Amino acid sequence: NAAYWVIRCPADTVKTRLQAGVDKTVPGAIAAVYNSDGVRGFYRAFFPLQTLDFPFTAINLALFAAYKTFVVTYLGHEPGVADLAVGGFLSASVTAGLTTPLSIATTRILMASRPAP
């Protein structure tokens, strides 16, 4: 799991800069972050990304499990592919709504520039 975070954090940093229009190309974003903050700049949001990912995963899995229980209990059958697709959509949508404040905070941290010396 550590390798996942080592790769994900720099990738999210570059992706966020591209989505926000701060940089136009991947090489440009990489150069801008490195020139501004060095390697450390790619990991500025390491802990905020984790504080977003863990609650998102926990809430999403709990809601998805509750939906599958609902299908069995109230609809009277084991969840099929369509049931699982609906459950995934609903649980991810609700979870995204609940964790939006954490997502916004993470984006702001990723976009923050290091103060000039």
Any domain includes 48: yes
Any domain includes 116: no
Provide the number of structural domains found in the chain. 1
Reported as a pLDDT band with limits 50, 70 and 90, residue 113 is: low
Any domain includes 35: yes
Domain span including residue 56: 2-111
Tell me which of 24-28, 84-88, 106-110 is least confident. Answer: 106-110
- Residue 73 is encoded by which pair of tokens? 């209990």
Instruction: Provide the percentage of residues in the chain whose pLDDT is more than 70.
Output: 94
Any domain includes 50: yes
If one compares 3 and 73, the residue with the highest pLDDT of the two is: 73
Taking 50 as the threshold, does the pLDDT of residue 116 lie above it?
no
Any domain includes 117: no
Residue 40, classed as helix, strand or coil, is helix
Q: What is the pLDDT of residue 114?
A: 54
Amino acid at 20: A
- Residue-wise pLDDT for 1-31, tens only, equals 668 888 889 999 999 999 989 999 999 999 9
Mean pLDDT value across the chain: 90
The answer to whether 45 and 13 have CB atoms below 8 angstroms apart is yes
- Residue 102 is encoded by which pair of tokens? 């954490």
pTM assigned to the model: 0.69
Any domain includes 34: yes
Mean pLDDT of 39-65: 90
Kindly give, in sequence order, each residue whose CB lies less than 8 Å from that of residue 30, ignoring residues fewer than 6 positions away: 14
